[in-house]
Structures are given as C-alpha cells and as structure tokens.
Amino acid sequence: MQYPNIRSMLAPRSLLAVTHGLALGFGALAGIKSFAADGDPTPAQIAETAAALPDPAKMTPFSKQVPVIFVTRDPRKPEAWNNLKEFWNKGKVDSVDPATGEKVTRDAVFIKVPLGLNSAPPVPPENPLTEEKVMLGKKLYFDTVISSNNKVSCASCHNPALGYTDQMKTSTGIFDQKGGMNAPTVFNSGYHLLQFWNGRAPTLEDQAQGPPQNPVEMHDGKGNPWYQVVARLRKNPEYVEAFAKVFGTPPTRDAAAKAIAAYERLALTGNSLVDRAELAMRTRVEEEGEGKPETNAGDFTKVLKAAFEAKDTEALGALGLQAGKDEGKIAEVAASIQRGKELFSNKARCNSCHVGDNYSDSQFHNLGVGAKDGAWPANADLGRFGAQETGHKDPTLVGAYKTPGLRQLVSTAPYMHDGSEGTLEAVIALYNKGGNLNPHLSNKMRDEPAEREAAKNGQKAVIPRKLNLTKQEEADLVLFLKALQGDPAPDIIAKP
C-alpha cells in the first residue's frame, strides 16, 4: 500500500517555519550594521535564497508538465521495454490532475532503463522527475556559474566523456587545488543508499549542495557560498525563467539541488556484455525448458558474435578487441569471461560486497586502502567511522569506505577512494593478498579460521584471507570486470 508522503506534506510548512522564524528572529536586527560584515547576507537573506514557497501561477501547469517515466525490462512481459527504440523516448501518458480531478493526456518522456538495471533509481516523492527539471539540472551540472571563480563545474570532475569522472588520482578543484579523494562516477549514483565514499550525504539532493561550498572544489572561501551561487543564478534571466517554470520560485538552493539530482538520476549505464549474456542464458534455459539459470561460455560466445556483427566498438574496445580483426578470439575470450564470472562469486568472493544490479551492497568496508605498515596512520581519514554522528560511531568502520559499483571501470581508473590503484590488475593483486593488513580490516577480508587458531595459541592477530588466485585466474577476473563495462550515456544526457 502507498503511505501518504509525510516528508512532502511537511516540507513546505517546515521551510516556511524556518524562513519565518529567521525573518522574525533577525528581521529586527536588519538595520544594525555591525550584525554582519559589509556585503555579508543576513540570516534572513540566506534563508530566503535557501528555499521559497512556490507560486503556482509561475509553474508549468500540471497538464503541460512532461513527466519522465522509467521503464525497466519486466521479464514476464518485456514488450513495453522492447518497443522503446532509444534511451529517451517521447510519448503520451494519461494522468489525473490532482487539483481538479480531471483526466489529462500529457506528453511524457519514457526512459529505457539499460539492460541489467532491473529497477529504476528511487525518486524522492518531493522531487518528481519532469523533462524541464532534468534539463535545468543538466544546465546547472555543466555550468561553471556554480563556482566562485566561474571556472569549475560538476562536469569538471565528473565528465560524462570520462565515465563521469576526471580520471585523476585525486581531483583538482578551484584555483588548481588538489583534494584528497578520488572522484567517483556519477553513473548509477541514484542507486546508492548513501552518497560519498564515507556516506556522509544521504541523497543526491544533499550531495549536490556540498561541492559549491567546498573550498577545494568550487568555493573561493569568501562569504556565504550558496547565497552567492543563488545570487549569480538570479542575475541570469534564463535561469530565472527556468526555475519559475519548474518550481514556481526564483532560483534557490533547494531547487538547484533538486534539479541537479534529477539530472543525475538519468546518468544510467548498463547493457554490458555480462547483462547480454545473462539475457541470452535466460532465453536459452526457457527454450530448452531445463538447465540451471547460470551462464556458460556459449552464452558469452553468442553475445560476443553479436557484438562483432553490430561493430559494438564500446563493448569490444573494453576487452581490447577490434571488429574485423579479432573474430578468431571469440571462443577463448568467452571462456575466460565465464571463468572470471564464476571466480567472482565463488573462489574470489567478490559478490560478498559487490552485489545487485550495480554490483554494490552500498555498505562500508575496510580493505586496508590507506593503511601503512600494518597500521591505520594516526592522521589518516577515518572513513565511515569519521562520518558517523557522535553517539552512533561504529568502531568496526574505521577506514571503511563505500563499496563502489563496477559498471564503468574501463573509463574510471584510477581506483579506490584515494585513487591509489592504477589498474584493474593492481586491484585484483590487492584482493589476492587479502587487502592491506591493519587492525580494522573488514571481517569479510579476514581468515577467521586462522585467526581462531592463533587465538588458541594466545595470539591476537588480524590475518588477511589470501585468495590464492593463479595468474590465469587473475586475468580471468580482470576480463570479467572489463565485460561489465556498460554503454556510455546517450548525447541527450552526456552533451551540455
């Protein structure tokens, strides 16, 4: 059953309370010059740019709004999905205007959610997707106006052409400053339960408010960052008009965060060779009416052949193959990917953390990335532990970072939260030795039987669990990861 959405019911009121509370609390002080330094906004001014109550007369009327609707492939009746020609499809949808109860037929955009993503990214009820909102979010995403010096945009560090990353060890922000973290991909970020490597932002809307006020990313450190971003947006008539249409308000921080998040939810990647082989397997098992629902090398051979025929340079290029040249390698490559896939969920236990459609459990684990000489350095970042609220800190999460998805790895090197692993081979070598020894190593990375043996002898030790992969097995795993490479974003999403 559908519960009424308490958050969306409360949101306008609580915003009103905040705005009014500040206006009443500080309004009387507005005339006092010393209250804020010259040029600094008052708390009331800041509140007014943070959020505003919508004027329905300025919004696009319900009947003219264009909802964006995700269509995932339903295996029992795949026709609706099959019939969509592209990622972004124009169509019509019947709706009931909530204000009048009248039936209206609206234009709609139907998103063909890429194969392998069996659910749509969740959308907060207070931020429904519409075409105008997504396009406003895209404009903001690519616009350097968000940064104080007008030189940095979200796309500077999350460039769609570079797998929505910057392909740097750690990012370079405003005034060429180096940050300490590797920029994760925005692809499929709508599926994460929490955002950032340490999960400090609950949603994309919260996350998007971070960079504009970060002094090593987009802010010059002078004055109130979001007040200034909004002031710049309000000087631009195009933005004023677009925000009015979508939100019925002038540009605000609340609306800007919502629009950017709406755009990011459409940065989807899937349809990898592995997804295609899984579909081929299901079709095969159905046709044969028997057999386990597990892929075999034949399924990979089939989809590789199809990729060669279709000259799918993206999927083939990820494997280092070239159409018109490497057809002879199909059987060998198919067998290697299949072996890698089996290792992933058996001997190498990768799927104890990299699970689900996006290959992430959205949980936090310490692999020892950042550990030195068996210890967690005293001045090092504390990972998830550091981000948890006081009173809720979990000591098993020191140095633990969020499990990243694995669908664009060919485009997103270097890897890990600090960009410390340059290649997939290096990542596999790290796992093969059980991660980097440190006192906080995740239980899932530890050799618990060996630790118990040691304990019997009175030794308290953390013993990393080696995977004992052969060179061939390491190569198979790497090839499987490359076969997870998804389609790039279509131009309507990827091009400013």
Q: Would you tell me which residues interact with ligand HEC (CB under 6 A)?
A: 146, 152, 154, 156-158, 171, 173, 179, 181, 183-184, 186, 189, 192, 195-197, 204, 207-208, 211-212, 217-218, 260, 264, 348-350, 352-354, 365, 367, 369, 401, 403-404, 406, 409, 412, 415-417, 424, 427-428, 431, 442, 444-445, 477, 481
Query: Shortest Cβ distance from residue 122 to ligand HEC (Å)?
Result: 14
Query: Shortest Cβ distance from residue 208 to ligand HEC (Å)?
Result: 4
Nearest to 49 by CA among 264, 227, 205, 273: 227
**Cβ nearer to ligand HEC, comparing 142 with 308:** 142
**Cβ nearer to ligand HEC, comparing 330 with 487:** 487
**Cβ nearer to ligand HEC, comparing 82 with 396:** 396
Query: Shortest Cβ distance from residue 148 to ligand HEC (Å)?
Result: 12
- Sheet arrangement for strand 68-71: 68-71, 103-112, 88-96
- Give yes or no for a contact between 73 and 113, defined as CB atoms under 8 angstroms apart: yes
**Cβ nearer to ligand HEC, comparing 301 with 485:** 485
> Whole-angstrom Cα distance, residue 218 to residue 236?
19
Say how many C-beta atoms besides its own lie within 10 A of residue 85's C-beta: 8
Query: Shortest Cβ distance from residue 10 to ligand HEC (Å)?
Result: 25
**Cβ nearer to ligand HEC, comparing 105 with 396:** 396
Give yes or no for a cis peptide into 202 (omega within 30° of 0). no
**DSSP secondary structure string, 231-275?**
HHHHT-HHHHHHHHHHHSSSS-HHHHHHHHHHHHTT------HHH
**Cβ nearer to ligand HEC, comparing 95 with 351:** 351
Sign of CA dihedral 307, 311, 316, 318: negative
**Cβ nearer to ligand HEC, comparing 114 with 370:** 370
> Whole-angstrom Cα distance, residue 278 to residue 272?
10
**Cβ nearer to ligand HEC, comparing 303 with 477:** 477
Query: Shortest Cβ distance from residue 307 to ligand HEC (Å)?
Result: 22
Query: Shortest Cβ distance from residue 137 to ligand HEC (Å)?
Result: 9
> Whole-angstrom Cα distance, residue 62 to residue 60?
6
Phi and psi of 364, rounded to 5°?
-120, 135
> Whole-angstrom Cα distance, residue 139 to residue 129?
15
**Cβ nearer to ligand HEC, comparing 48 with 476:** 476
**Cβ nearer to ligand HEC, comparing 47 with 445:** 445
Query: Shortest Cβ distance from residue 408 to ligand HEC (Å)?
Result: 8
Query: Shortest Cβ distance from residue 364 to ligand HEC (Å)?
Result: 7
- Give yes or no for a contact between 408 and 164, defined as CB atoms under 8 angstroms apart: yes
Query: Shortest Cβ distance from residue 374 to ligand HEC (Å)?
Result: 16
**Cβ nearer to ligand HEC, comparing 306 with 450:** 450
> Whole-angstrom Cα distance, residue 6 to residue 19?
20
Query: Shortest Cβ distance from residue 468 to ligand HEC (Å)?
Result: 12
Nearest to 402 by CA among 242, 236, 191, 240: 191
Residues ≥6 apart with Cβ < 8 Å to 478 = 340, 424, 425, 428
Query: Shortest Cβ distance from residue 304 to ligand HEC (Å)?
Result: 21
Query: Shortest Cβ distance from residue 92 to ligand HEC (Å)?
Result: 31
Classify the phi-psi angles of 451: left when phi > 0, otherwise alpha if psi is within -120 to 50, otherwise beta. Answer: alpha
> Whole-angstrom Cα distance, residue 222 to residue 213?
10
Say how many C-beta atoms besides its own lie within 10 A of residue 323's C-beta: 15
Residues ≥6 apart with Cβ < 8 Å to 401 = 197, 198, 364, 365, 366, 367, 369, 383, 384, 416, 417
> Whole-angstrom Cα distance, residue 75 to residue 132?
31
**Cβ nearer to ligand HEC, comparing 257 with 307:** 257
CA 132 to chain centre: 21
